[in-house]
Structure 1
Amino acid sequence: MTLNELYKDLDYVNHSREKRAYYAQLIVDNPDAMRHVLEILFMVDDPRSNRAGWLAEFATKMDITIILPHLDYFTTHMHTVYQDSALRPVAKICEYLTISYYKEKHPETRKMLLSSHKNCIIECGFDWLITDQKVAVKAYTLTSLYHLGTETDWVHPELKRFMEDGYHTGSAAFKARCRHVKKWIEKFNKKQS
């Protein structure tokens, strides 16, 4: 599948779970196409960018290994995404990656997700938290930063400070995620003591 073919096919991808799953399966079946999906995702001013994000998210959920060969490209470009409907899948992919690495201990993820990638996720994550983003982006980011903070010691204190500062003005969904993440941090800190 060429970049142009994929670009045209994105016209047929919509919000429906069925369409996203169908096209994501095409990507999983043709892993080399993932690079093209990411290239279109990072065409940040293009209306198809968000559709490429949906595919990247669904394909990564189906098979985490689909994104692993592209981690350098993904992590060095993810800071450019700004449209809400494209940024949400980027944040979700970061969440998938950190869960795969830290919680599921997926061998290929643990081999390929390097410190440089983690640092990019941390940097973007805090940028997303301090800027005006939708609650889904912030919720996924809280989870990602929690996991990354189990290895990078300064992350949890900064994350806790952010959650405390934003808790009273946050939405119900944001507050719920904050409560979960605070419990995870407390449990992690007890284990470390």
Structure 2
Amino acid sequence: MYQKIEESTCHVASRKMVSNFAMKDEKNLSEMIELAFDIKNELHVKAFWSLDLVCEKKLKQFVPYIEDFCTILPKIKDDSAIRPATKICMFLAKSNHRKNGISLTQEQEHNLIEALIDRLIQDEKVAAKVYAMKALFVLGKKYDWVHDELKSIIEHDYSNHSAAYQAATRNLLKKLNK
């Protein structure tokens, strides 16, 4: 698995190949996740690139690793790993909200909320912020205060960001103001 990740690129075809290889065997998936969570290893970024595809297709395979993910999430510093990590948060939040989805513990929900709010107020790239906002919006359906906090952050930062950020937040603000 290590070699496949090492040889992978950011191109979708390469990421899909690695994620498909990981999903075929629990041992491969475990190795990929171990590498993704090893933030001192420079390959953790490449592992996260494919891990978000695994979570998009087979989130239930990721369930045994959620606790460790919640622990490592606030420690991720590389922009190229932050984007897929926040995307995984979005998948977790959406599935947690569905009737037949995964079930996060209250502590895991709070850990995700805290890490995602931190991402929103830090100087992160737009894609990571958008995934964080989407995840927080879903989590806010259970915790009302999250919607209040999300709205406050978006309104405060709106004029300081790019047109792409503003477009994404406009739609979210409409939903929050309903």
Preserved CA contact (<8 Å) 2:130 2:168: yes
2:20 aligned with 1:25, yes or no?
yes
Q: Aligned to 2:51, which of 49, 56, 64? A: 56
CA contact (8 A) 1:37 1:56 kept: yes
Q: Which residue of structure 2 lines up, in the alignment, with residue 160 of structure 1?
A: 151
In the other structure, the counterpart of 2:100 is 107
- Matched with 1:40 is 35
Q: TM-score, normalised by structure 1?
A: 0.87
Residue 138 in structure 1 maps to residue 129 in structure 2: yes
Find the partner of 2:82 among 70, 73, 87: 87
Q: Which runs of 5+ in 2 are unaligned?
A: none
Consecutive unaligned residues of structure 1, counting only runs of 5 or more, are 1-5, 188-193
CA distance in 1, matches of 2:140, 2:26: 31
CA deviations 1:159-179 (Å, max 9, x no partner) are: 111001110011111111111
Residue identity matched to 2:91: Y
Determine the C-alpha separation between the residues in 2 that align with 1:52 and 1:86. 9
The answer to whether the 8 Å contact 1:98/1:147 transfers is yes
Q: Taking every aligned residue pair, what percent have the same amino acid on both sides? A: 28
Q: How many angstroms apart in 2 are the aligned matches of 1:185 and 1:179? A: 10
The one of 65, 72, 82 equivalent to 2:67 is 72
What is the CA RMSD across the aligned residues, in angstroms? 1.4
TM-score normalised by length of structure 2: 0.94
Count of aligned pairs? 178
